[in-house]
Amino acid sequence: MLTFLKKKWWIAFPLFLLFLGLTYWIIGKIQYRSNVMDVEEYSPVSTLKVPEHKPTQAKYPFIDVHNHQFTMPIQNLDKLVAEMDELNMKVMVNLSGFRGKYLEWALDNVNEKYSSRFI
């Protein structure tokens, strides 16, 4: 009789461990799927209790050191400079100069009125 119980135990115990492991794995998968949060979904509520201040303009003139104005040769710079003035942007560094005639046209457009505002 003792040998019969030992044989049953060696069969039942691995099956029990397999059942436990499978249950643990399934519960983990379910919890992972329900707890996944993308960066876009993360919006914590602020606990800060101070008056809100949203600056719309820089306190001091600044330089935008990395900008791409692809339409610089044909762009109306009056509107762009007006937007720069609203932000208190002193100078913009345009990194979309390309080469050849395109670069010449862009430089001509800038040098007409606003040579000190664009690099």
With a CB cutoff of 8 Å and minimum separation 6, the contacts of 94 are: 67, 68, 69, 72, 106, 118, 119
Q: Quote the domain boundaries for residue 14.
A: 1-39
* CA–CA dist 90, 81 (Å, integer): 9
Q: What is the reported pLDDT for 37?
A: 73
Query: Residue 107 phi/psi, 5° resolution?
Result: -65, -40
Based on the fold, state whether residues 66 and 97 are members of the same structural domain: yes
> What pLDDT is recorded for position 9?
67
Please report the pLDDT score of residue 77 as a whole number.
92
Q: Are 94 and 72 in contact (CB under 8 A)?
A: yes
User: What is the structure's pLDDT at 40?
Assistant: 80
pTM tops 0.95: no
Any domain includes 119 = no
Does some domain include residue 55?
Answer: no
Could you tell me if 35 and 77 lie in one domain? no
- 101 contacts 73 by C-beta, under 8 angstroms: no
Residue 19 lies in a domain: yes
Number of separate domains in the chain: 2
Q: Which residues of the chain have pLDDT under 70?
A: 1-7, 9, 33-34
